[in-house]
């Protein structure tokens, strides 16, 4: 019954252009479902968005069929509640608690009662779905990650192993902070506004005693609310509302400082000096040199594939591409950056990229920063290899680069297409060639 290839069920309506989730009801469950086909609009004309939206409908549909075949397994309150919510969704309804059923239209109430009556004694999940009689879930703080991971499969899809690891670590840390601040593993439904404000006060004390930044607290609150939003959308609960407007106001003392740029003269005279980077391994050295004239993020360079390095094109360039095996920072990160000067030389040494540091940008960063510090290549400890990106931005801005071209080169939002055409690439190349550093090699 279950199929991993969801795309086969995503079809386009030829008249409207809208994508649909459409599949035949399996024979083994047909006598219990009563429909011949499942047909549900995905409400988009974008195939990519349609595939993402189909994930939840697909999971809900198959969960309902499993419940029908199993006679409605009620091993836990969470399982029965989820089964009812998904059954309602699969049948084209929104799950409503029994207390809210009376507010529905007469027509919808009659349709719900008809389906519930047809499934009495054989599909408890469907009966609960139509009558709103599933017991409310008793989720606790410790259940947040499991529920979030289960209901956010589409959102996590496409992350590389290292991206997923960091995504998970941050959120598990937020969960542990919540348990510590609130004094235990509270039920999510029992958390009220005073509890949230108690955690806010706990963070204020932690920031003061441990000399932290407001960013740490705000990241924690953001992670918690993000996970609860996914759970609320899937289970039609309302756990996230009490977490509204809880972020800490950042002051000069508590604001996370931005990495300062390297002075231009420092890059030219120190970092690009002959032999300055020779204590690094060759890959790390070439990654640094690639950053100098591209301003690309360290992770973008570490994860370049051979097909992303276009040395033989009319305008040699690297491409930060849309990929299936990792998620780019934002949709605006997808771009093409011409290669000039030292960065062109560096990429010619590594036309196949840096497999040693693929999906391991943190390892590259730690090594490069350590070596640069010991070699006296960082003016202060606040300067890191990432400061080269800020130097690049300052250089192009001071050279009167247009806002549009700055956004194109840096991968920032500007309401633009992802890539430039040939003429635009030549303009970028000419501009960067005019401000490039001297490179003796």
Give the pLDDT means over successive 10-residue stretches in the chain (441 positions). Answer: 73 89 82 76 87 82 70 56 80 82 85 86 81 82 93 88 95 96 93 96 94 93 96 89 92 66 96 95 97 96 97 96 88 92 97 96 96 95 95 95 91 65 84 92 65
Long-range Cβ contacts of 153-157 (<8 Å, 24+ apart): 153/55, 153/59, 154/52, 154/53, 154/55, 154/56, 155/230, 157/55
Task: State both tokens at 355.
Answer: 């497999």
User: Sheet of 309-310: strands edge to edge?
Assistant: 309-310, 317-320, 335-338
Q: What is the pTM of this model?
A: 0.70
Closest listed residue to residue 80, CA positions, set 62, 67, 90: 67
Strand-pair partners of 140: 187
Please state, as a whole number, how many other Cβ atoms lie within 10 Å of the Cβ of residue 86.
26
Report pLDDT for 77: 60
Report pLDDT for 68: 65
Report pLDDT for 243: 96
Report pLDDT for 74: 40
Question: Could you say which architecture CATH assigns to the domain 264-435?
Answer: Orthogonal Bundle (1.10)
Q: CA Rg, the chain, in Å?
A: 27
Report CA 385 to chain centroid distance, whole Å: 24
Please state, as a whole number, how many other Cβ atoms lie within 10 Å of the Cβ of residue 3.
12
Please state, as a whole number, how many other Cβ atoms lie within 10 Å of the Cβ of residue 332.
17
């Amino acid at each position: 019954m279950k199929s991993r290839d969801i795309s086969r069920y995503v079809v386009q309506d030829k008249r409207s252009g809208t994508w649909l989730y459409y599949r035949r009801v399996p024979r083994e469950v047909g006598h219990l479902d009563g429909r011949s086909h499942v047909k549900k609009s995905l409400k988009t004309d974008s195939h990519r968005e349609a595939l993402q939206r189909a994930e939840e409908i697909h999971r809900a549909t198959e969960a309902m069929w499993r419940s029908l075949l199993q006679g409605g397994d009620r091993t836990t309150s969470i399982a029965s509640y989820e089964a009812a919510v998904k059954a309602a969704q699969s049948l084209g309804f929104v799950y409503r608690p029994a207390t809210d059923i009376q507010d529905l239209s007469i027509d919808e109430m009659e349709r719900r009662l008809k389906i519930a009556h047809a499934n009495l004694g054989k599909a408890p999940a469907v009966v609960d779905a139509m009558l709103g009689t599933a017991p409310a879930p008793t989720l606790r703080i410790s259940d947040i990650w499991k529920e979030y991971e289960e209901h956010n499969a589409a959102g996590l899809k496409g992350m590389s192993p290292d991206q997923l690891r960091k995504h998970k670590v941050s959120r598990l840390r937020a969960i542990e902070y919540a348990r510590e601040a609130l004094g235990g593993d509270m039920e999510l439904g029992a958390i009220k506004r005073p509890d949230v404000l108690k955690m806010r006060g706990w963070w204020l004390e932690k920031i003061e005693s441990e000399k932290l930044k407001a960013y740490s607290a705000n990241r924690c609150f953001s992670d918690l609310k993000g996970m609860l939003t996914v759970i609320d959308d899937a289970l039609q609960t309302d756990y996230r509302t009490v977490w509204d407007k809880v972020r800490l106001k950042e002051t000069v003392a508590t604001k996370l400082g931005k990495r300062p740029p390297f002075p231009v003269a420092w890059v030219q005279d120190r970092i690009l000096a002959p032999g300055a980077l020779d204590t690094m391994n060759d890959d790390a050295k070439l990654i640094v040199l690639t950053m100098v004239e591209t301003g690309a993020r360290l992770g973008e360079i570490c994860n370049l594939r051979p097909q992303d390095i276009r040395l033989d094109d009319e305008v040699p360039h690297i491409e930060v591409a849309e990929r299936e095996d990792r998620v780019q920072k934002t949709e605006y990160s997808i771009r093409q950056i011409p290669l000039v000067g030292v960065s062109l030389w560096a990429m010619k040494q590594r036309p196949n990229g840096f497999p040693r540091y693929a999906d391991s940008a943190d390892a590259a960063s730690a090594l490069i920063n350590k070596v640069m510090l010991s070699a006296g290549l960082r003016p202060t400890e606040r300067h890191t290899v990432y400061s080269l990106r800020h130097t690049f931005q300052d250089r192009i801005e001071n050279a009167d680069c247009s806002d549009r071209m700055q956004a194109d080169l840096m991968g920032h939002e500007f309401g633009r297409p992802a890539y430039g055409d040939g003429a635009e690439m030549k303009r970028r190349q000419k501009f960067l060639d005019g401000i490039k550093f001297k490179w003796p090699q």
